[in-house]
Amino acid sequence: MFGGNDRALELWKSINEDDTVITIGFDPYEYVLNNKQIQAGYVWHLTNLHRPYGHKNGEFQHRVAFKYRKVCSDIALVIEEVLKYLPKTEESLPSVRKSLPSLNTRTLNRKVHADAVDLVSFYEELEHCWQPNSIGFDDVCMAYKDRPYLMQRRHPNINFYSMYHGSAMGGAFGLGCGAKLANPRLQTFIFSGDGCWRLYGSAIADASRMGLRLFIMNNSCYGIIEQGAPLIIPGLDSKRYHSHLPNIDFVCAAKAHGWYGYKVKPDLSNLAEIMDACYSYDSQSILIEVPVDATQIIGMNPRVQHLQGDCYL
């Protein structure tokens, strides 16, 4: 749902009583189900948790419209067994990844203001840069709907985690620190917004030698609010969104806190060099400021469709 590509959303919306859905783990919360029940005739829930968060009597029957079955055991073992019965698709082979068709059909606006990067080109270029043993986190900012939307498929070199369930701005920075502490050999990337930054920015000096790679998607505003508010509170004077943020020079901020700082050029001509630096330096933390135009809408936010009246983004 949130961050889903067009084909995934189309399939999800088409689910009906004739379908079976197999969930590997199950986090049936608002950002995934939009407060609706899964409409499949049968939902199989594979899990290793006896009491998953938000369960009723250990189960999620209340989150599905029809039949529900929970299989609680070693998930890997169950999947290995199940896969024997599913048809093999080429998609599972990393070698054919490059030639796979796009799963998106919307036409995206590529015209951004002169100082900003085109996000489509930015994320596409990054796809060529990921090296093995990388891990990434999307903070509660547009990156958590845009990056997965454009990336579409899992990259063999990097596992990404998006912060939409807890949805507390700034949380990805803590996750990045945790991942790096748990396994210092992981190349750890965090995608955060200039609004999210305001929740942890004062703490970055303490992480200057942790070898973190922090991308700040800087659009001088709470972009998700700016994009969502017209749908959620139609007719409200945009001044009352309170979404504007005074600009910060993030490269200066990085250097002032003992980090290295780079700014991505609008034409992306220095992105490869910046990524080389990310993979070359060891324990030195690096901040990368990405100038972004908040009017460029990439990933969908289906969640706003049911957020009306008294609600929180």
Ligand X SMILES: Cc1ncc(C[n+]2csc(CCOP(=O)(O)OP(=O)(O)O)c2C)c(N)n1
* Site residues, ligand X (CB under 6 A): 140-142, 167-169, 193-196, 217, 219, 221-225, 313
231 token code pair? 């749908």
187 token code pair? 């190349």
Q: Considering beta carbons, is residue 78 or 172 the nearer one to ligand X?
A: 172
Q: Considering beta carbons, is residue 59 or 289 the nearer one to ligand X?
A: 289
Task: Provide, rounded to whole angstroms, the least separation between the CB of residue 125 and ligand X.
Answer: 19
Count of CB atoms situated within 10 Å of the CB of 147? 23
Task: Provide, rounded to whole angstroms, the least separation between the CB of residue 312 and ligand X.
Answer: 6
61 token code pair? 């029957």
Q: Considering beta carbons, is residue 140 or 254 the nearer one to ligand X?
A: 140
Q: Considering beta carbons, is residue 112 or 142 the nearer one to ligand X?
A: 142
User: How far, in Å, CA of 56 to CA of 58, rounded?
Assistant: 5
Residue 212's SS3 state is strand
Task: Provide, rounded to whole angstroms, the least separation between the CB of residue 1 and ligand X.
Answer: 16
How is residue 155 annotated by DSSP? Answer: B
Q: Considering beta carbons, is residue 169 or 288 the nearer one to ligand X?
A: 169
Count of CB atoms situated within 10 Å of the CB of 182? 10
Task: Provide, rounded to whole angstroms, the least separation between the CB of residue 192 and ligand X.
Answer: 6
User: How far, in Å, CA of 219 to CA of 195, rounded?
Assistant: 9
Residue 232's SS3 state is helix
Task: Provide, rounded to whole angstroms, the least separation between the CB of residue 185 and ligand X.
Answer: 29
